[in-house]
């Protein structure tokens, strides 16, 4: 099967290569593969806004809906300078396998706007968010496609999306997005869900390889929603956070960083830059330092053939989507006894699982306590974790291939049962 020319780029190619490896493992007939892998729809929009200086700027936006077999599509919206349709399509494909692995009634989707959000004023950010949602109205809906935050977007952006959609409907439709602020119909625990989920699974992996939290060390790449909550949660469990980085700075101290002080700094300044004049480290070197837990929680393809052999962690917990290239995966496979990989579609699934809880609560207008949300989240993650480890052992394959195999198989079976229309 060829990867489609409509979706180029190395990230889409990576999603395709991962799928091909798993399709070979599952013996999926060649003529069935495109039907499972290729995205169903891709929407490209131009979003014009007035800049603060009075000029007009146009930003390109995307939404890719991967498959419609199991229910509405679901996925985040990314605002980043390097977003393109191939990357968005790859993220949508990964969302499908992630939702299927977690047993959620969704296909995967993803959206994005090619913009560096740090170059926008708050007013411009609101204008772009609202215009992007307005352009997407014909293609989304609470039972069609439900958006959520991702890199460069947050609860506030979701509130603007929800408000814009609702204004056009003439009524409040809070279920159109998840990851909203609690006061606008969001769920307790969603903001923390992905990072806490990462920390929960790290705890399970530590048990498996006989590591205890106290005395263990962690390095976190990316200090946004996922990375900062993972760091705070692990630190509260006794893990020493010895390194952190974001797109502005990287800090390393083997004695341990003060995560409370980091938190206060980022709350005030939004970035890590300026936290300290000491403890700085080359961001690329940070990943290679000896630690028990390495959490890439920023962007794709940060672990590749050039650095994978030099990793010194015991657990690689993939908070980000697609942080490890297929070439690096081959090496990690040879290092299975040294490095316990928690693959992205398992490791960061806490976000979409609690998004599902938020959607269900919104549809029913019946809201749960934070304890209920968290208990159900950890149950769901535990089930997926057990399935992945069981499958990896049974088939003698990597954790990534086991997770992907379960996800792909679930979608494939649903398609087979529904049949091919007409």
The only residue of 320, 339, 373, 392 in contact with ligand NAD, by rule CB under 6 A: 320
Q: Is 75 in the site for ligand NAD (CB under 6 A)?
A: no
The pair of three-digit structure tokens given for residue 343, joined into one six-digit string = 């693959």
Of the two residues 163 and 300, which places its CB atom closer to ligand NAD in the complex? 300
Q: Which stretch binds ligand NAD (CB under 6 A): 122-130, 170-178, 199-207, 314-322?
A: 314-322
Footprint of ligand NAD on 144-173 (CB under 6 A) = 149-152
The 3-state DSSP class for residue 278 equals: coil
Rg (CA), the chain: 20
Q: Is 297 in the site for ligand NAD (CB under 6 A)?
A: yes
Q: Which stretch binds ligand NAD (CB under 6 A): 32-40, 82-90, 205-213, 319-327?
A: 319-327
Of the two residues 73 and 412, which places its CB atom closer to ligand NAD in the complex? 73
Site map 374..393 versus ligand NAD, x via CB under 6 A: --------------------
Residue 351 Cα to chain centre, angstroms = 7
Q: Which long-range contacts (CB under 8 A, 24 or more apart) does 204-207 make?
A: 204/382, 204/385, 205/315, 205/317, 205/340, 205/342, 206/292, 206/293, 206/315
Residue 285: how many CB atoms within 10 A of its CB?
A: 13
- Residue 112 and residue 80 in contact, taking contact as beta carbons nearer than 8 Å: yes
The only residue of 86, 224, 362, 407 in contact with ligand NAD, by rule CB under 6 A: 224
Task: Point out the catalytic residue in the list 110, 290, 310, 393.
Answer: 110
Q: Is 197 in the site for ligand NAD (CB under 6 A)?
A: no
The only residue of 3, 96, 217, 225 in contact with ligand NAD, by rule CB under 6 A: 225
The pair of three-digit structure tokens given for residue 340, joined into one six-digit string = 């316990």
Q: Walk across the sheet containing 250-252 and list its strands.
A: 250-252, 240-245, 217-221, 293-296, 315-317, 340-342
The only residue of 65, 69, 217, 348 in contact with ligand NAD, by rule CB under 6 A: 348
Q: How far apart are CA 413 and CA 318, in angstroms?
A: 27
Q: How far apart are CA 338 and CA 322, in angstroms?
A: 21
- Least distance (Å) between residue 246 CB and ligand NAD: 3
Query: Is the alpha carbon torsion for 222, 329, 387, 241 positive or negative?
Result: negative
Q: Is 342 in the site for ligand NAD (CB under 6 A)?
A: no
The pair of three-digit structure tokens given for residue 167, joined into one six-digit string = 């204004």
- Least distance (Å) between residue 375 CB and ligand NAD: 19
Q: Is 351 in the site for ligand NAD (CB under 6 A)?
A: yes
Which residues have CB under 8 Å from 216's CB, separation 6+? 206, 238, 239, 240, 292, 293
Q: Is 111 in the site for ligand NAD (CB under 6 A)?
A: no
Q: Is 114 in the site for ligand NAD (CB under 6 A)?
A: no
- Least distance (Å) between residue 353 CB and ligand NAD: 10
74 is catalytic: no
Report, as residue numbers or ranges, the catalytic residues.
110
Q: Which residues bind ligand NAD (CB under 6 A)?
A: 149-152, 194, 221-227, 245-247, 283, 297-299, 319-321, 348, 351
């Amino acid at each position: 099967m060829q990867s489609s020319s409509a979706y180029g780029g190395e990230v889409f190619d990576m999603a395709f290569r991962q799928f091909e490896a798993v399709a070979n493992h599952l013996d999926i007939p060649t003529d069935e593969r495109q039907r499972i892998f290729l995205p169903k729809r891709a929407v490209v929009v131009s979003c014009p806004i007035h800049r603060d200086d009075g000029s007009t700027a146009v930003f390109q936006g995307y939404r890719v809906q991967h498959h419609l077999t199991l229910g509405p599509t679901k996925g985040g919206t990314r605002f980043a300078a390097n977003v393109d349709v191939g990357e968005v399509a790859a993220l949508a494909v990964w969302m499908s396998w992630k939702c299927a692995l977690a047993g959620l009634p969704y296909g995967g989707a993803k959206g994005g706007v090619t913009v560096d959000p740090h170059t926008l004023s708050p007013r411009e950010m609101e204008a772009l968010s609202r215009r992007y949602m307005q352009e997407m109205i014909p293609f989304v809906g609470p039972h069609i496609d439900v958006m959520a935050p991702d890199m460069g977007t947050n609860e506030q952006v979701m509130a603007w999306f929800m408000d814009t959609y609702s204004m056009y409907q003439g009524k409040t439709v809070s279920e159109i997005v998840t990851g909203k602020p609690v006061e606008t119909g969001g769920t307790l625990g969603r903001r923390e869900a992905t990072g806490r989920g990462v920390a929960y699974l790290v705890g399970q992996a530590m048990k498996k390889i006989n590591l205890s939290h106290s005395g263990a060390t962690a390095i976190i790449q990316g200090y946004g929603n996922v990375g900062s909550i993972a760091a705070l949660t692990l630190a509260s469990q006794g893990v020493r956070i010895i390194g952190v980085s974001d797109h502005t700075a990287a800090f390393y101290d083997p004695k341990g960083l003060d995560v409370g002080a980091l938190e206060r700094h980022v709350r005030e300044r939004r970035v890590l830059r300026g936290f300290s004049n000491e403890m700085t480290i080359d961001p690329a070197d940070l990943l290679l330092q000896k630690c028990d837990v390495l959490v890439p929680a920023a962007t794709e393809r940060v672990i590749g053939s050039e650095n994978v052999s030099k990793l010194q962690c015991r657990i690689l917990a993939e908070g980000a989507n697609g942080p490890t290239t297929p070439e690096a995966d081959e090496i990690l496979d040879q290092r299975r006894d040294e490095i316990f990989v928690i693959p992205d579609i398992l490791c960061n699934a806490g976000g979409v699982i609690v998004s599902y809880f938020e959607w269900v609560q919104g549809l029913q207008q019946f809201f749960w306590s934070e304890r209920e949300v968290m208990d159900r989240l950890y149950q769901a993650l535990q089930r997926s974790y057990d399935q992945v480890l069981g499958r990896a052992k049974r088939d003698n394959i990597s954790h990534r291939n086991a997770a992907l195999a379960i996800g792909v198989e679930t979608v494939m079976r649903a398609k087979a049962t529904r049949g091919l229309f007409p």
